[in-house]
Structure 1
Amino acid sequence: GEAVIDYAYWHGMIDSTTKEALHEQYRVCLDGGVPKPSPPFHAFNVPDECSTMGTVLSAAGAGALKGNWRGGPNTYDVTTWDMYPVLLGRNGTIDNFFNNPEIREAIHAPNGVMIWEQCIPGAGRRRLGIDVDERGETTEEDRASFHPTDRMLLLEDDRPLSVMPYISELLDDAGIDVLFYNGDRDMSCCVQGSEKLLNEMTWSGQTNWINPYVNQRGLWIVDDEVAGYG
């Protein structure tokens, strides 16, 4: 979601002008106000249906360099610059790991039958025999001929259900404490997203949570060393 935009801004990866433009494009994507948003925003064909993560990474320099410095920031540790395609492609560490014959044997995956690949753009459309262009996006001809059933199968309007009601039930009804933890270098599961969720969640402690005089941040100490903030 849009939390990665704020993460990138507060970590100096993008400037304020880019941040505001990305937020605006994200709202356009969610509202469906533009049938075909301008690139790199597009209809659902990557894990992030508004392509926010890929767009933020591009704005932060992913794909700008060639040769030995190609690639971009690692989404789970933005201080690391990955030399392989950041989100897609068959040359990444994860792809090479799962395609390793020894690993395939260890997890009982059939050897030599198929290639394991993460995040395949337009995979659902290819399954239905719908054409995609060179960027993996649906062509205008196929988009115009989409049947409502096709849109359902392609999850064009799919939204995940919120887990906030379940968290508030754990806190209020079950009396179970819940710990939210985010790595400070992790843009994919960032603290901005957790904070946004908690700020908007309805629960008995909400008033104190958003009161800076009651809910004061502290330090995470491990072996007498500052290891984080909370």
Structure 2
Amino acid sequence: MGPAYTIVDAFTATAFAGNPASVIITDTPLQVEQMQLIARVRTFHEFNLAETAFLVRKEIGKDGSYARLALRCGLATLASANVLFSQLPPACQTLKFDTKSGQLFASRLPFGKIQLEFPAALLKLASGELAARVKRVVEECAPSGLEIGYVGLGQGIGFEGFVLAEVASGTGLKDLSFNPGPVMQLAPEHKIFILTSTGPVWGQKPDSYPAYSLPRQVFPKIQ
């Protein structure tokens, strides 16, 4: 008999809609082979689900205000938080997930909503040679001209190969005419290219152009 599981319809308030995922919670970590077998046989073949989240209990706050777990999943993160909040007392307002990319937080919101705060990548200043290379690529992508003020490299697990180029403060990207073809010049050592700008006023949401995965797939806009 396999471990107990819960099926959650994420991103919807309607049953049997949205993005379904299976959530499995254990007291001790499962081997990778075990997780693959369970996901393949139980959730994919029996229920035709593409996502399975595996959680390991680690710590519950003495006052019950938070729960800390190890998370091994991708798109099923929201489903995992939903299952945990349904099992934990109302005093537990925050979930802390230990992931390979850092700590991920889930918080209860009114009306049954859940807010996710994902790990943020650390950046280090790119070398002068790489910064000049990125600036040349951006000039080819946007002939109208953009002044690049900062070029950084992603650090930490899950963010290797990320390149971020930040244009001068106050420069809008919303109506930018951008040809992504030249970005491929940054491959293969760099996997993701992000072009962004600082907000014109502190605290105001900055413009951000779609992030490009090298060498082929285009990622959705990152805000």
Larger relative contact order (C-alpha < 8 A, sep ≥ 6)?
Answer: 1
Same fold (TM over 0.5): no
Q: Give the shorter-chain TM-score range.
A: under 0.3
TM-score, normalised to structure 2, is: 0.22
TM-score, normalised to structure 1, is: 0.22
